[in-house]
Amino acid sequence: MSTRRVVITGTGWITPLGHNVDSVWQRLLKGESGVDRVTHFDATTFKTDFAAEVRGFDLRKALGERTAAHADAGSSTQYALAAAKQAWDQAGLGPWASQGKLSRRRFGVYLGAGEGELDFANYARTNLAGWIDGENRLDAPAWARAAYRHMNPRREVEQEPNLTGSHLAEEFGCRGPSSNCMTACAAGTQAVGEAFELIRHNDADVMFAGGAHSMIHPLGMTGFIRLTAMSRRCDDPKHAARPFSRTRDGFVMGEGAGIVVLEALDHALARGARPLCEVVGYGSTADAFRITDIQPDGKGAQGAMREACRQAGLDPQSPGSDGRPRVHYISAHGTGTQENDAIETAAVKGVFGTLAPRVPFSSVKSMLGHLIQAAGAVELITCVQAIKTGWVPPTMNLADPDPECDLDYVPNAARDLNPHGGVDVCLSNSFGFGGQNDTICVRKFRA
């Protein structure tokens, strides 16, 4: 069966560095950090008291009068709605829809969204931070009484992980395929990849795809602290996220949303849309190893990258006609944990062979923090921007490289690749708890 070409016609994100694609991109190129002390709750007793929070967000500015329809939605859902509105506007779908030309049954949603909203501040007026950190004990009956008084019953519905996609479907009239995957830190990338497959196999014409998540609450942060996965560099939060550095000690929690409009090329051209880039490959594998650990040899990560390159028709170990590697930039998963960074480095070497040191390979988590299920989609948008501008963002805070991490991580300063031919092809990697590995390959669009 022949497959359709799939393009990205719109992008949107809500991030710790702002709420607009172009302005956030400029801040990333400047190496600015979105990390600071937690303000969403009292984290002073926590061993990690900092995160990359979304600040200054107002859904009314994004959706206007229709905000009331989503007033009870949690923060990650509201971030997704705002990001989707940006992508919708950039794709120019509004006029097409208003003329009745958008087939709603062929317009779907595929997200990697969180495990639901846990609004402890409204559920109970108690010192949850102190309890969770082990310095106090929860008075369960009192907490239950407080929760009963303060809990909005709509929150029970909003905790369902499919609700984020349902809100997008309601807002934009998406009556086609609707799915949500919960594959931890790989979810945003997997959602885009699966939506890509739906379109190219003619099960949809247009899809919202991406991820949204917020875990900056007592339970969310405590779990990762107990797993020893988060940085505890409380004396220097701005420089705590340091992927590939010898002194890295874990990731920094972030939050936000990234949404793209995926569209069949024939559909996009029929309505006069301008493709931002083309999605040309998707690889997905499972480590089948341990729930919280990456397969030490990185074979699962290699498999995802190789499959994405295979679908794109690329030989990663063979240079192009210009002598450069055929992939011009890799958006790293790059969490800043000891295991991830070393294994991802080894995986890239396994896929690209002798060309690996020549492929720019950076982690924007050094500035945005780790947006968990939103991370992959937000990082894919950095690839779209790299193709558009010819610049690639840096890995910040990389002053003391780990000898095991010896590739080109674009350390501490963005790089202009335009003098070398620009950016035509990118890979975006995401690896999640449970052993999920996903890679998307995007290429500059050519008719």
By the 8 A CB rule, do 124 and 143 touch?
Answer: yes
For residue 272, count other CB atoms closer than 10 A to its CB. 9
370 is catalytic: yes
Per-residue pLDDT of 390-410, as tens digits, reads 999 999 999 999 999 999 999
Per-residue pLDDT of 427-437, as tens digits, reads 999 998 888 99
For residue 400, what pLDDT is reported? 92
* Cα dihedral 409, 415, 418, 423 sign: positive
Q: How far apart are CA 86 and CA 64, in angstroms?
A: 13
In the predicted structure, residue 330 carries a pLDDT above the cut 90 = yes
In the predicted structure, residue 175 carries a pLDDT above the cut 70 = yes
In the predicted structure, residue 173 carries a pLDDT above the cut 60 = yes
Catalytic residue, candidates 70, 333, 383, 405 = 333
Q: How far apart are CA 171 and CA 76, in angstroms?
A: 15
Catalytic residue, candidates 167, 213, 328, 370 = 370
Catalytic residue, candidates 185, 309, 383, 441 = 185
Looking at this protein, which amino acid is placed at residue 307?
E
Per-residue pLDDT of 252-282, as tens digits, reads 999 999 999 999 999 999 999 999 999 999 9
User: Mean of the pLDDT values across residues 86-102?
Assistant: 93
40 is catalytic: no
By the 8 A CB rule, do 236 and 389 touch?
Answer: no
By the 8 A CB rule, do 191 and 374 touch?
Answer: no
C-beta pairs of 312-319 under 8 Å, 24+ apart in sequence: 312/280, 312/281, 312/425, 312/441, 312/443, 313/280, 314/281, 314/425, 314/441, 316/351, 316/352, 316/353, 316/355, 317/351, 317/352, 317/353, 317/354, 317/355, 319/355
217 is catalytic: no
For residue 152, what pLDDT is reported? 60
For residue 127, what pLDDT is reported? 41
Bridge partners (DSSP) of residue 251 are 230
